[in-house]
Structure 1
Amino acid sequence: MHQRDNDIYASAPLRRLLDEQTRVLTPELQRCFGTHALLLGVSADDVPPALPMLGSWTTLHLVDAHDGRYRGDLRAAADEPLPFVDDAFELVLLRHVLEVAPSASALLAEASRVLAPGGVLALTGVHPLSGWAPWFFWRTRGRPHALQMPLRLGQLLQQDGLEVEQVQRVGRLWPGLTQPPAMAAHLLGGGYVLIARKRRRMVTPLRLKPVPVRVPPNSQLSPGARRSSAL
């Protein structure tokens, strides 16, 4: 019998799902570039993908939802704002962390805040309308986990100034299936990936105020200029 504990993300089914989500995300994230990226995950051995055009990663893990603290490159309370300045990262990757966060909407807003304009936010999770949902809730009974609807997450991101570029179902139909699918993406897959981009700030052009120019009475004007327009 499977143990119903907080180590669900170390189980074989979810490890397979994580691998399939990474297969779908990696080609899209290969185009991301910049100097800083952030990974928020749920497993202490979760490592960021190798992306050649990104300089460095900051990695935080919310392994134990009861503990309520991020571990990894630094320690921070999970129910407080992320300890980063605005627009700090060109890429923010959330791997299943919304399922264990004290407030998924608050964490999503924080991820949007620390994302730089033009940067990419990538999400993965277990789809609540899939064959995985009963198994997931059985394994996490009594634990603070909550599956998130990708449609709802997309709406929250749009409110925070992001544009959703891709939402896709990923993985096997059932967690007990061990035969690898022909393709990682599947219409009825148990997981999902979501990719959104933060809108760049609009530059408001300055409105120049005309300054009258005094022209001496005997001065020469350029051809076509009218003395009345310069006085």
Structure 2
Amino acid sequence: MKTLLLLFPQFNYMAPKEEPYFKTLGPQDFLPATMKEESSRHKDKERKSRLSLFLTKSGSHENVSPHKKTNTPSRKISAEVALKWSDCFEEVMKDSDGVEVFSQFLKSEFSEENIEFWLACEDYKTVDSETKLLSKAKYIFTVFIESDAPKEVNIDHSTKMAIEQSISQPTMSCFDAAQKKVYSLMQKDSYPRFLHSDIYLNLTQRKGPGAPMSRRRSRSCVFNERGEVTSASSAW
């Protein structure tokens, strides 16, 4: 009889009746449904973050920037070169140093996913293998596009759905619409602030927005007070 009591503690009236129950279910089973859902979403997001890190380390996201330089110190950028970036946003994006410095600025604003996505799309357009095209398309979608992606960019629902529908058989242009929207966002929203940031002003050797500069803006690219492009020329 003692043996039976040891093997089946539920017959031991001196032992707590709940003991076998708790051992069977465990603490996670007593969480409310909402907390279980939040825990599941959190684990899913952690999985995507780990996937992003793994793909980056494994080389799937190597050389995503056609402008990429290794350890290019911003202090070597001349004031004249930096001043040229104020002509147009295009002047920043076509210069490898400009892309690097602009990326530093976006990191300070916690929006570096925009430039990283744009560069990933530029790299995607250079792929000449169908196998690599599918692999890179899935990477870009997982990291930047799908809901709760670790570096999700801000694009509209219809654009996101169009990409999702084409991701199984991606084309060279499947990210074009999203890339243009992110580019426009950086140009209209981030770029004007970049021109007034300490990162940029230090390169141009200016102390503040009102300090004099020795360079004129291009006639084709002048920003008004609202950060919009106008066609008129103006001196600084």
Q: TM-score range by the shorter chain?
A: under 0.3
What's the TM-score once normalised by structure 2's chain length?
0.26
Structure with greater proportional strand content: 1
